[in-house]
């Protein structure tokens, strides 16, 4: 629901202009070399499997109908026993054919495994994704001046591989962007890695696939693939501090809202360039640049943001964000402040 | 002092008197000797394997219904997007209980029920090797299930999935007693499985009739023997894992948590220990069911099974290979490519012995004359469903493909084709096949056909669709899903299919209720079947065989018509063994008569010891250490009473000779 709307509507996302397609959770089409070979092999084993089901089904059914004994069904004594044929030929032929097919698939399996399991050398970005109950922390690694943190939304340049490093801050999660490749778990006490590459611009939906508790169902993410120059611009923008409001009246409202934020939100959330540096929840610098909130659950509109802040437990029951019970005035000014986080 | 063969007292080696099985005074004597005491006393103390087998079947079926109701509630929640029938916590408890119930408290015990009832009859014996241990394993099974379901009553059912991955299942992330219920109930049930496994193994190797050599055992006994031999190796692994987790949660040890300073644990240790048991367990809950098909299908095809030896070898090979595939549950955990390649190959190769069975059954149909009874329809559809569950398993064995398929509904579809297709359909066929033996009456064939078609259609509509749901990318274990990305229609179809399947099971229950009173009288051998259990009355007398038969072929009741075997099976005359509870002990391979075994009679101790263990586990759960200590102490005393040597059975004579 949310992501489809986020991908098509794009009201809150200035970078939306270039984007075209959005891709759901199906993995039957590959959109990058991290997935091409996998999808071909998937189709191959799927077709083999369907053929086997059809052949065996036909053998069982035709055998039943052709060889069916006449007479009343339940009086078995009337049907004489027989042992005219040993029937072993069925086993010999069946096993011989199965063995050849299985061996072929096994070799193909190893070829694709070698192809997709090692990340290419010349990566365009090294991205550290940290699983949290129930959202994704995303850190672009590199020189200290080039490092920044965002959440639930990964931007990549089209046509270039990126390396994804995976850890967890709490329980096991699994990182999965189906159109771009297979899953890899985030496991506390261990660093895993995977890679992906999108050959076409677009929004690729992802999802946690290891059961991780109450809101496992609402732990989505998106990968936004842009032309390299747009990606570079996005990256440069993320490295800046949050933009400041322009109009005088906005300044006053935002200052009011910033104070509300500092009292209520800063323990858990970071906004770079302010004193807010909580580490429990998602980093909110440049919040308004993101397409979704609550880990891919809702499109990032001002209305949804207000609804989420007023009652996060209604949208994701059991999630770790407390209900703040802000006054209407405080909620309004907080919203005005968040709107400045461009 | 060791006891050698020569030390065995004469009472075990006397040459028994030989009589006709129709001897009325012999039958009366045996009847009064073996009959279960009427009333509640007999109910609590019986060791009759037939009584225990039926209890296993009925209890496992109750768990099937409980797990099924849990599934239907979940299917209502998932029938449409963004539904609010269940809270996330309720959904998580339901899917955890559904999985645990079906896999651990239904699928294996139901097969133990068949084996318990049938083995002594199939083997020409009077009881299992350890009748009291048999009663004990049933009581523990029932008590552990009640223990597990108590968690619902206190509102704290396990909620971390039947696979229960840590750290989510550890104390910091799951502070309630939900997971303590899970750990302790599983250890508790493990006692039953282990006791049952020892009993099945010794029974197979020891208490058969003369001539029942290793090449004449029906396939169900091979399936059950393989499964239970595997249990001996697999159960300690997982029971230890459950215990470690309980220690982590109760005393703050660090077996599975990565934050223990120098003595740090690792979450993947849990997954290895769990699946080292978990995957063999999958084969343990299908091999005996495949055995049911291998024995039942030929009866309705009017010919012996094609390729008996190949099927036996395939059964044993599957179980052995089944210990080498567990890592395919962990392909996405970041293991080295080399390790995954090995387990991937093993997963793909294990298809071969399964294919041997499939082609054997197909050949049996093609070279026989099938008669379309309800049991036959279940067995024939079993072949088809086995292939669907098999090829989807093969697909997930291919590592890069599995990285896409794992943890989606595709795997949910796969495992249900395994558990319903290769366990439940075999069980249903087996119930239609042996119900006449259990009760003396036939199940109604008209209701049977309705029952079959509802279950077959409902199952395939619901669960074949799940493959597509998975290929569309729907993740597993989600309490709801968004609208607009293609999940609504397949989920609605699955919900409809699940309810049709449930109607089919309801039709079965109706059929049992109807046929128990109105069903046609069965007679000894209503299907003209080939094996020994069909040579006695339906239901069999408490002593099974008035005289111990001796067999000369794989199909004692068909051999004359098939000109099979060397010599002739003798069923109507034989050793009478009427000096208290006795049965024949034979050599493991050749089935040469070896010794007369003195069998124990009724005892309250299995029930009493089970109560003590229940108190022990309740104490461990609630941290009432006194209760746990008293339960353990009284349990030890009960066990001593149970095992105390009895003069009349002659054990003391062995000790003194």
Three-class SS of B31-48: HHHHCCCCHHHHHHHCCC
Give the separation between CA B401 and CA B209, rounded to whole angstroms.
50
Bigger pLDDT: B649 vs A23: A23
Cα→Cα distances B458→B98, B101, B416, Å: 19, 21, 13
Distance separating alpha carbons of residues A268 and A282, to the nearest angstrom: 8
* pLDDT greater than 60 at residue B467: yes
Calpha distance B128→B616 (Å, rounded): 28
- CA distance linking residue A192 with residue B21, whole number of Å: 70
Residue B85 pLDDT: 96
State yes or no: pLDDT of B370 exceeds 80. Answer: yes
List C-alpha distances in Å: A63 to A56, A98, A318, B361, B412: 10, 20, 55, 11, 31
Q: A291 lies in a domain?
A: yes
How high is the mean pLDDT of chain B?
93
Tell me if A213 sits within 8 A of A134, measured CB to CB. Answer: yes
Give the A window 50-109 contacts with B, CB below 8 Å.
52-53, 56-57, 59-60, 63-64, 66-69, 73-74, 76-77, 79-91, 93-95, 98-99, 102, 105-106, 109
Say yes or no to pLDDT of A243 above 70.
Answer: no
Which residue in A has a C-alpha nearest to residue B361's C-alpha? A60
Q: Would residue A13 count as lying in a domain?
A: yes
Residue A82's pLDDT is 80
Across the interface, whether the CB atoms of B388 and A53 are under 8 A apart is answered yes
Pairwise CA distance, residues B486 & B494, whole Å? 14
C-alpha B155/C-alpha B170 separation (Å) is 19
Q: What pTM was estimated for this model as a whole? A: 0.94
Residue A135 is assigned to a structural domain of this protein: no
Q: Residue B567: which pLDDT band, with cuts at 50, 70 and 90?
A: confident
B45 vs chain A: nearest CA distance in angstroms? 39
Query: Do the beta carbons of residue B227 and residue B287 sit within 8 Å?
Result: yes
Q: What is the DSSP letter of B132?
A: H
pLDDT of residue B657: 43
Share of chain B above pLDDT 70, in %: 95
Residue B264: what pLDDT? 82
Surface-to-core class of residue A257, CB atoms within 10 Å of its CB (0-12 exposed, 13-18 middle, 19+ buried): buried
Which chain B residues contact residue A86 at CB under 8 A?
306, 367
Does the distance separating the beta carbons of A86 and B482 come in below 8 Å? no
> Could you tell me if residue A79 is inside a domain?
no
**Contact present, A156 and A118 (Cβ < 8 Å):** no
Check CB contact under 8 Å for B394 and A116.
Answer: no
DSSP type of residue B2 = P
B175 to chain A, any CB pair closer than 8 A? The answer is: no
Q: Give the residue-averaged pLDDT of B154-182.
A: 95
Cβ pair A67:B368 closer than 8 A: yes
The total number of structural domains that make up chain A: 1
- Domain extent, residue A248, equals 2-20+241-339
Question: Could you give phi then psi for residue B9, rounded to 5 degrees?
Answer: -60, 160
The answer to whether B603 and B135 are in contact (CB under 8 A) is yes
| pLDDT bracket for residue A250 (50, 70, 90) | confident
Contact indicator for B285, B419 with CB cutoff of 8 Å? yes
Chain A contacts in chain B segment 477-536 (CB below 8 A): 477-486, 527-528
CA B474, CA A249: separation in Å to the nearest integer?
47
Give B471's contacts (C-beta < 8 A, 6+ positions apart): A26, A27, A28, B408, B410
Which of B266, B362, B403 has the CB atom closest to A60's CB atom? B362
Sort B252 into a burial class: Cβ within 10 Å, 0-12 / 13-18 / 19+: exposed
Average pLDDT estimate for A270-286: 91
The ipTM of this complex is 0.92
> What's the rounded Cα separation, in Å, for the pair B509 and B515?
10
Return residues 156-175 of A near B (CB < 8 Å).
166, 170-172, 174
State whether A87 and B82 contact (CB < 8 Å). no
Question: Under an 8 A CB cutoff, do B398 and A174 touch?
Answer: no
Nearest to A40 by CA among A109, A106, A104, A103: A109
Closest C-alpha among B373, B365, B502 to residue B432: B373
Interface with chain A: mutation pick from B482, B522, B523, B564, highest number of A CBs within 10 Å = B482
- Asked if the Cβ–Cβ distance from B359 to A64 is below 8 Å, we say no
Find where tokens 């959770």 sit. Answer: A25
From B160, B307, B527, residue closest to A88, measured CB to CB: B307
Count contacts between A and B (CB, < 8 Å). 296
Instruction: Quote the pLDDT of residue A9.
Output: 38
Q: What does each C-alpha distance from A285 to A138, A150, A338, B162 come to in angstroms? A: 12, 7, 9, 40
Which structure tokens are listed for B32? 């009064």
Say if residue B4's pLDDT is above 60: no
Residue A264, in any domain of the structure: yes
Strand bridging mode A298-299 / A292-293: antiparallel
- The residues, ordered by sequence, that sit 6+ positions from A102 with a Cβ below 8 Å of its Cβ are B348, B349, B351, B352, B394
Q: How far off is chain A from B255, nearest CA to CA, in Å?
A: 13
The CATH number linked to A301 is 2.60.40.420
pLDDT reported for residue B260: 57
Determine contact: B38 vs chain A, CB below 8 A.
Answer: no
Distance CA A136, CA A218 (A): 11
User: For a pLDDT cut of 90, what percent of chain B falls above it?
Assistant: 89
Chain A hits for B368, CB-CB cut-off 8 Å, are 67, 82
What residues have CB less than 8 Å from B210, skipping those under 6 apart? Answer: B548, B550, B551, B584, B586, B591, B592, B593
Distances (CA, A) of A136 to A88, A130, A186, A280, B65: 57, 6, 11, 12, 39
Tell whether B383 is within 8 A of chain A (Cβ). Answer: yes
* Alpha-carbon span A188 to B268, nearest angstrom: 10
Any idea of the CA torsion for B31, B33, B36, B38, to the nearest 10 degrees?
90
Top residue of B176, B366, B381 to mutate, by most chain A CBs within 10 Å, is: B366
Surface of A (214-253) touching B: CB under 8 A: 214-217
Q: In the prediction, which pLDDT does B9 show? A: 63
The residue of chain A nearest to residue B474, with distances taken between CA atoms, is A25
B152 contacts B226 by C-beta, under 8 angstroms:
no
Could you tell me the strand order of the sheet in which A192-196 lies? A148-151, A135-141, A125-132, A162-168, A192-196
Q: Is the pLDDT of residue A259 over 50?
A: yes
Question: What pLDDT does B656 receive?
Answer: 46
A211 contacts on B by Cβ (under 8 Å): 160-161, 165, 168, 476-477
Main-chain phi, psi angles of B176, to 5 degrees: -70, -175
Contact B332 A185 (CB under 8 A): yes
B560 at interface of A, judged by CB pairs closer than 8 A: no
Å between B204 CA and nearest CA of chain A: 28
Query: What is the rounded distance in angstroms from the CA atom of residue A128 to the CA atom of residue B218?
Result: 58
List all residues of chain B from 399 to 418 with a beta carbon under 8 Å from chain A.
399-408
Tens of pLDDT, residue by residue over A137-170, are 999 999 888 899 999 999 999 999 999 999 999 9
The three state secondary structure string of chain A is CHHHHHHHHCCCCHHHHHCCEEECCCCCCCCCCCCHHHHHHHHHHHHHHHHHHHHHHHHHHHHHHHHCCCCCCCCHHHCCCCCCCCCHHHHHHHHHHHHHHHHHHHHHHHHHHHHHHCCCCCCCEEEEEEEECCEEEEEEECCHHHCEEEECEEEEECCCCEEEEEEECCCCEEECCCCCCCCEEECCCCCEEEEECCCCCEEEEEECCCCCCCCHHHCEEEEEEECHHHHHHHHHHHHCCCCCCCCHHHHHHHHHHHHHHHHHCCCCCECCCCCCECCCCCCCCCHHHCCEECCCCEECCHHHHHHHHHCHHHHCCCCCCCCCCCCHHHHHHHHHHHHCCC
Taking an 8 Å cut-off on Cβ atoms, the answer to whether B398 and A64 are in contact is no
Question: Residue for token digits 């934020």?
Answer: A261
Q: pLDDT tens across B256-311, in order?
A: 988 756 668 899 999 999 999 999 999 999 999 999 999 999 999 999 999 999 99
Task: State residue B470's pLDDT score.
Answer: 97
SS3 call for B240: helix
- Residue A10 has what pLDDT? 37
Peptide bond connecting B539 to the previous residue in cis, omega within 30 degrees of 0: yes
Domain contains A279:
yes
Q: What is the pLDDT of residue B653?
A: 47
Contact A91 B359 (CB under 8 A): yes
Q: B193 and B231 in contact (C-beta within 8 Å)?
A: yes
Average pLDDT on B46-55 reads: 96
Q: Tell me what the mean pLDDT of segment B244-260 comes to.
A: 89
| Per-residue pLDDT tens over the stretch B174-226 | 999 999 999 999 999 999 999 999 999 999 999 999 999 999 999 999 999 99
Average pLDDT of the residues in A224-245: 88
In terms of Cα–Cα distance, which of B411, B372, B377, B379 is closest to B393? B411
Q: Which chain A residues are closer than 8 Å to B400 by Cβ?
A: 37-38, 41, 109, 112-113, 116-117, 182
Q: How confident is the model at residue B378 (pLDDT cuts 50, 70, 90)?
A: very high
* pLDDT average, residue stretch B540-568: 91
Q: Is B190 left (phi over 0), alpha (psi -120 to 50) or beta?
A: alpha
Q: Is the pLDDT of residue B545 over 60?
A: yes
Give the C-alpha separation, B541 to B550, whole Å: 19
Q: Counting Cβ atoms within 10 Å, is residue B80 exposed (0-12), middle (13-18) or buried (19+)?
A: middle
Token pair recorded at residue B261:
């300073």
Of the pLDDT bands very low, low, confident and very high (cuts 50, 70, 90), residue A245 is low
pLDDT the model gives residue B3: 45
A129 vs chain B: nearest CA distance in angstroms? 15
Considering only CB atoms, which chain B residues are within 8 Å of A317? 87-88
Contact B173 A171 (CB under 8 A): yes
- Are B19 and B576 in contact by the 8 Å Cβ rule? The answer is yes
- Closest chain A residue to B404 measured between Cα atoms? A182
Within 40-99 of B, beta carbons closer than 8 Å to A belong to: 81-82, 87-89, 92
Region A36-50: mean pLDDT is 96
Distance from CA of B276 to the nearest CA of A (A): 19
Q: What tens digit of pLDDT does each residue of B580-604 get?
A: 889 999 999 999 998 888 888 899 9
The confidence score (pLDDT) of residue A1 equals 41
What confidence category does residue B11 fall into, taking pLDDT thresholds of 50, 70 and 90?
low
Query: Does residue A93 belong to any structural domain of this protein?
Result: no
Residues facing residue A126 across a β-bridge: A141, A163
CB-CB neighbors (< 8 A) of B379 in chain A: none
Chain B residue at shortest CA distance from A4:
B484
Nearest chain A residue (CA) to B444: A74
Q: For residue A247, name the pLDDT band (cuts at 50, 70, 90).
A: low
Among the partner residues A57, A64, A90, nearest to B363 by beta-carbon distance: A90
Chain B residues lying within 8 Å of A133, measured CB to CB: 173
- Tell me the residue ranges of DSSP E strands in B447-510: none
Residue A217 contacts by C-beta under 8 Å, 6 or more apart in sequence? B88, B475, B478, B479, B480, B481
pLDDT of residue B655: 45
- A40 falls within a domain: no
C-alpha separations of B256 from A119, B260, B273 in Å: 30, 9, 11
């Amino acid at each position: 629901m949310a992501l489809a709307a986020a991908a098509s509507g794009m009201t809150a996302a200035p970078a939306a202009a270039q984007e075209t397609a959005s891709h759901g959770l199906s993995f039957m089409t590959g959109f990058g070399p991290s997935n091409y070979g996998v999808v071909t092999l998937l189709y191959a084993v799927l077709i083999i499997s369907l053929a086997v089901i059809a052949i065996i089904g036909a053998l069982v059914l035709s055998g039943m109908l052709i060889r069916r004994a006449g007479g009343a069904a339940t009086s078995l004594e009337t049907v004489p026993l027989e042992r005219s044929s040993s029937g072993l030929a069925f086993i010999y032929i069946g096993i011989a054919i199965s063995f050849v097919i299985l061996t072929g698939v096994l070799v193909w399996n190893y070829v694709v495994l070698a192809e997709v399991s090692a990340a290419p050398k010349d990566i365009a970005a090294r991205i550290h994704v940290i699983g949290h109950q129930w959202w994704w922390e995303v850190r672009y690694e590199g020189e200290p001046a080039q490092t920044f943190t965002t959440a639930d939304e990964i931007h990549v340049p089209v046509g270039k591989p990126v390396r994804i490093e995976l850890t967890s801050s709490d329980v096991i999660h699994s990182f999965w962007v189906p159109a771009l490749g297979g899953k890899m778990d985030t496991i506390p006490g261990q660093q895993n890695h995977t890679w992906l590459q999108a050959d076409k611009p677009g929004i690729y939906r992802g999802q946690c696939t290891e059961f991780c508790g109450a809101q496992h169902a609402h732990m989505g993410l998106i990968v936004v693939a842009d032309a390299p120059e747009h990606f570079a611009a996005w990256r440069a923008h993320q490295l800046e501090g949050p933009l400041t409001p322009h109009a005088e009246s906005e300044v006053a409202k935002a200052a009011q809202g910033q104070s509300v934020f500092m009292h209520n939100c800063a323990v858990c959330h970071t906004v770079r360039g302010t004193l807010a540096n909580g580490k429990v929840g998602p980093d909110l610098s440049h919040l308004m640049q993101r397409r979704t909130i609550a880990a891919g659950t809702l499109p990032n509109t001002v209305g949804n943001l207000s609804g989420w802040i007023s009652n996060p437990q209604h949208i994701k029951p059991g999630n770790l964000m407390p209900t703040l019970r802000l006054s209407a005035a405080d909620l309004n000014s907080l919203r005005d402040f968040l709107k400045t986080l461009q | 002092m060791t006891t050698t063969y020569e030390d065995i007292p004469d009472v075990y080696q006397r040459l028994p008197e030989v009589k006709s099985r129709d001897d009325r005074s012999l039958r009366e004597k045996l009847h009064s000797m073996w009959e279960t005491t009427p009333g509640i006393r007999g109910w609590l103390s019986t060791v009759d394997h037939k009584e225990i087998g039926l209890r296993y079947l009925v209890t496992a079926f109750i768990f099937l219904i409980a797990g099924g109701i849990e599934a239907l509630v979940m299917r209502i929640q998932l029938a449409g997007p963004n539904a609010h029938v269940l809270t996330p916590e309720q959904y998580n408890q339901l899917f955890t209980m559904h999985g645990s119930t079906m896999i651990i408290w239904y699928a294996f015990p139901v097969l133990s029920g068949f084996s318990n009832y049938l083995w002594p009859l199939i083997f020409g014996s009077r009881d299992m090797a350890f009748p009291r241990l048999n009663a004990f394993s049933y009581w523990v099974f029932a008590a552990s299930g009640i223990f597990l379901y108590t968690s619902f009553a206190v509102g704290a059912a396990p909620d971390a999935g039947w696979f229960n991955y840590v750290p989510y299942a550890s104390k910091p992330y799951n502070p309630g007693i939900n997971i303590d219920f899970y750990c302790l109930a599983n250890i508790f049930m493990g006692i039953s499985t282990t006791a049952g496994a020892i009993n099945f193994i010794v029974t197979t190797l020891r208490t058969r009739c003369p001539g029942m050599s290793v090449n004449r055992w029906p396939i169900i006994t091979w399936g059950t023997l393989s499964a239970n031999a595997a249990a001996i190796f697999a159960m300690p692994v997982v029971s230890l894992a459950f215990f470690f987790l309980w220690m982590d949660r109760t005393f703050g040890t660090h077996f599975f948590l990565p934050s223990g300073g120098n003595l740090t644990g690792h979450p993947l240790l849990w997954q290895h220990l769990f699946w080292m048991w978990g995957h063999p367990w999958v084969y343990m809950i299908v091999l005996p069911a495949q055995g049911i098909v291998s024995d039942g299908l030929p009866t309705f095809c009017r010919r012996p099974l094609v390729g008996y030896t190949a099927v036996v070898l395939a059964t044993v090979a599957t179980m052995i290979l089944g210990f080498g595939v567990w890592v395919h549950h962990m392909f996405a955990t970041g293991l080295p490519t080399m390790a995954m390649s090995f387990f991937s190959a093993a997963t793909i190769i294990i298809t071969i012995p399964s294919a041997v069975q499939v082609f054997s059954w197909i050949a049996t149909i093609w070279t026989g004359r099938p008669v379309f009874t309800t049991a036959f329809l279940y067995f024939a559809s079993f072949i088809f469903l086995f292939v669907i569950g098999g090829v989807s398993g093969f697909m997930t064995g291919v590592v890069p493909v599995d990285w896409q398929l794992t943890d989606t509904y595709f795997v949910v579809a796969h495992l249900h084709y395994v558990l319903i297709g290769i366990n439940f359909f075999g069980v249903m066929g087996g119930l239609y096949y042996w119900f006449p033996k259990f009760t003396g009456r036939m199940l109604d064939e008209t209701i049977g056909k309705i029952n079959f078609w509802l279950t077959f259609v409902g199952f395939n509509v619901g669960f074949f669709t799940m493959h597509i749901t998975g290929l569309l990318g729907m993740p597993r274990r989600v309490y709801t899903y968004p609208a607009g990305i293609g999940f609504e229609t397949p989920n609605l179809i699955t919900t409809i299919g699940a309810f049709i399947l449930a109607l089919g099971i309801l039709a079965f229950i109706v059929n049992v209720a109807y046929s128990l009173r109105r069903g046609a009288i069965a007679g000894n051998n209503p299907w003209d079947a080939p094996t020994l259990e069909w040579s006695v009355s339906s239901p069999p007398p408490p002593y099974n065989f008035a005289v111990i038969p001796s067999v000369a072929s794989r199909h004692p009741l068909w051999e004359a018509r098939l000109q099979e075997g060397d010599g002739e099976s003798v069923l109507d005359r034989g050793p009478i063994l009427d000096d208290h509870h006795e049965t024949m002990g034979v050599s493991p391979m050749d089935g040469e008569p070896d010794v007369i075994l003195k069998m124990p009679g009724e005892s309250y101790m299995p029930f009493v010891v089970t109560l003590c263990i229940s108190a022990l586990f309740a104490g461990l759960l609630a941290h009432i250490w006194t209760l746990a200590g008293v339960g353990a102490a009284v349990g030890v005393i009960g066990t001593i009473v149970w095992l105390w040597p009895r003069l009349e059975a002659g054990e003391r004579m062995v000790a003194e000779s």
